[in-house]
C-alpha cells in the first residue's frame, strides 16, 4: 500500500507536514468565507434588495482588512513551501550512493563503491540501512520515468541523458512500496519498486551476501539448469556473476532468489511464476522486452530450480 501520510523518514514527514499545513489553512479559510457569505445574505434578506447608492466606508474598511489577511495567509503558505523545499533539497553527507537506471519496464539498481569489486547490481527491490541517508542517482535508458516511494520521499523524474538525485532516509525498519509515477508506455502500471529498510548490521550482512558470486548448483537438476541457462538465449540479456553470463540488457540474476517478486512486481518469485514468465512473458506483460524462451518441460523445471537457488 502506498501511504504518503504514513511516513517512515524525515523527507516524507516534511512533505506530510506541508500537506497538513495547506489542508488546515484552506479548511479554515473555506469555513470563514462560508460563514461571512451566510451572514451577508441574511442581513440583505432582512433589509430588502435595494442596493445602497454608494459603498459605505465601513464596507471599504472590511474589504481592505480582508485583502490584507489574504495576503498574509498567502505569504505564510509560500514561506512554508520555501522552507519545506529547502529541507528536501539538503543533500546529506556520508550518504550511501545508489545508481538507479529506469528501463521500460524495470529498475536497474547499482550500489556504488570506490572499490569496483564491492559494487552490487540488482533490480526492482531496493534494500537500504535504517538511519543512514541514501543518495539515489537517477537515470533513464529510454523514456522519462518517475521514482516514487511515498512513505520515504516525493517523486523524482528519471530522464534520458541527465542525472537527477533524490535522498532517502528511513527512520524505522520495514518494507515500503513504490511505483513508477510517470506514464512511460505500455507496461507503466507494472513497474513497481519496493524498498526494504534493514537495521545497519542486517544491511551490512545483506550487502556482503550480494557482493558474492552466484551460488553453485546443489544437485544434478540445478547443474542441468545452469547448463540450460548458459546454452539458451537467457545469457544474451542477463548476467550471473561467477559464470560467463555478463550481459546488461535485462536484470542481473546473480541473487535473483533473494528478491521477493519478479518482472518488476508483476509476479511473486516462485518456480511456477518463473516458469510462466520465461516461457510466455508477453501474456503477463504485453510489450515487455523479454522474449519468450521455448524449453522442454524438464529443462524449464531444471532452470527454475537453478534460479531458485541463487540466493
Ligand atoms: Cu516507468 Cu512509468
Pocket of ligand 1 contains residue 193 by CB under 6 Å: no
Q: How far is the CA of 123 from the centre of ligand 1 (A)?
A: 15
> Where does the pLDDT of residue 224 fall: very low under 50, low under 70, confident under 90, or very high at 90 and above?
very high
Pocket of ligand 1 contains residue 188 by CB under 6 Å: yes
Residue 52 has pLDDT above 90, yes or no: no
The reported pTM is: 0.88
Q: How far apart are CA 128 and CA 198, in angstroms?
A: 6
Q: How far apart are CA 44 and CA 36, in angstroms?
A: 12
Q: How far apart are CA 266 and CA 13, in angstroms?
A: 29
Q: How far is the CA of 102 from the centre of ligand 1 (A)?
A: 8
Average pLDDT, the chain: 92
How far are the Cα atoms of 36, 38, 39, 59 from residue 45, in angstroms, in the given order?
Answer: 14, 11, 10, 17
Pocket of ligand 1 contains residue 274 by CB under 6 Å: no
Which span out of 85-94, 139-148, 242-251 was modeled with the highest average pLDDT?
139-148
Q: How far is the CA of 160 from the centre of ligand 1 (A)?
A: 13
Residue 51 has pLDDT above 70, yes or no: no
Per-residue confidence (pLDDT) for residue 1, from 0 to 100: 77
Nearest to 266 by CA among 252, 254, 280, 253: 280
Q: What is the mean pLDDT of residues 103-121?
A: 93
Pocket of ligand 1 contains residue 255 by CB under 6 Å: no
Q: How far apart are CA 110 and CA 231, in angstroms?
A: 27
Residues 246, 251, 255, 260: what is their CA dihedral angle, to the nearest 10 degrees? -170
Question: Could you report the per-residue pLDDT of 255-307, keeping only the tens digit for each?
Answer: 999 999 999 999 999 999 999 999 999 999 999 999 999 999 999 999 999 99
Question: Could you report the per-residue pLDDT of 27-45, keeping only the tens digit for each?
Answer: 999 999 999 899 988 887 8
Q: How far is the CA of 42 from the centre of ligand 1 (A)?
A: 54
260: its cell numbers: 521477493
Question: Could you report the per-residue pLDDT of 123-166, keeping only the tens digit for each?
Answer: 999 999 999 999 999 999 999 999 999 999 999 999 999 999 99
Question: Could you report the per-residue pLDDT of 199-221, keeping only the tens digit for each?
Answer: 999 999 999 999 999 999 999 99
Q: How far is the CA of 266 from the centre of ligand 1 (A)?
A: 14
Q: How far is the CA of 23 from the centre of ligand 1 (A)?
A: 29
Burial track 74-108 (b if 16+ CB lie within 10 A, e otherwise)? eeeeeeeeeebeeebeeeeeebbebbbbbbbbbbb
Give the β-pairing of 145-148 and 96-103.
Answer: unpaired
Pocket of ligand 1 contains residue 182 by CB under 6 Å: yes
Q: How far apart are CA 129 and CA 108, in angstroms?
A: 19
How far are the Cα atoms of 45, 60, 139, 236 from residue 232, in angstroms, in the given order?
Answer: 85, 83, 30, 8
Closest residue to atom 1 of ligand 1, CA basis: 145
Per-residue confidence (pLDDT) for residue 70, from 0 to 100: 92
Residue 14 has pLDDT above 90, yes or no: yes
Amino acid at each position: 500500500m502506498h501511504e504518503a501520510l504514513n511516513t517512515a523518514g524525515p523527507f516524507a514527514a516534511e512533505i506530510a507536514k506541508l500537506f497538513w499545513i495547506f489542508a488546515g489553512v484552506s479548511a479554515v479559510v473555506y469555513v470563514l468565507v462560508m460563514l461571512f457569505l451566510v451572514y451577508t445574505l441574511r442581513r440583505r434578506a432582512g433589509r430588502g434588495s435595494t442596493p445602497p447608492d454608494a459603498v459605505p466606508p465601513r464596507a471599504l474598511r472590511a474589504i481592505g482588512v480582508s485583502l490584507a489577511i489574504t495576503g498574509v495567509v498567502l505569504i505564510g503558505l509560500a514561506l512554508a513551501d520555501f522552507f519545506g523545499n529547502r529541507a528536501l533539497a539538503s543533500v546529506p553527507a556520508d550518504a550511501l550512493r545508489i545508481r538507479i537506471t529506469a528501463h521500460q519496464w524495470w529498475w536497474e539498481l547499482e550500489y556504488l563503491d570506490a572499490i569496483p569489486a564491492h559494487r552490487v547490481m540488482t533490480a526492482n527491490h531496493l534494500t537500504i540501512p535504517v538511519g543512514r541517508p541514501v543518495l539515489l542517482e537517477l537515470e533513464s535508458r529510454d523514456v522519462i520515468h518517475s521514482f516514487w516511494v511515498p512513505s520515504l520521499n516525493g517523486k523524482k523524474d528519471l530522464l534520458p541523458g541527465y542525472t537527477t538525485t533524490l535522498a532517502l532516509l528511513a527512520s524505522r525498519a520495514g518494507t515500503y512500496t513504490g511505483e513508477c509515477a510517470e506514464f512511460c508506455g505500455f507496461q507503466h502500471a507494472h513497474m513497481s519498486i519496493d524498498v526494504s529498510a534493514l537495521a545497519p548490521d542486517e544491511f551490512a550482512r545483506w550487502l556482503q551476501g550480494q557482493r558474492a558470486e552466484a551460488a553453485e548448483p546443489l544437485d544434478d537438476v540445478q547443474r542441468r539448469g545452469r547448463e540450460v541457462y548458459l546454452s539458451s538465449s537467457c545469457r544474451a540479456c542477463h548476467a550471473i556473476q561467477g559464470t560467463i553470463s555478463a550481459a546488461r540488457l535485462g536484470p542481473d540474476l546473480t541473487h535473483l532468489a533473494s528478491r521477493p517478486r519478479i518482472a518488476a512486481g508483476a509476479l511473486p518469485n516462485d518456480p511456477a511464476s518463473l516458469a510462466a514468465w520465461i516461457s510466455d512473458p508477453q501474456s503477463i506483460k504485453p510489450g515487455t522486452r523479454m522474449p519468450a524462451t521455448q524449453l522442454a518441460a524438464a529443462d524449464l523445471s531444471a532452470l527454475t530450480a537453478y534460479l531458485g537457488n541463487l540466493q
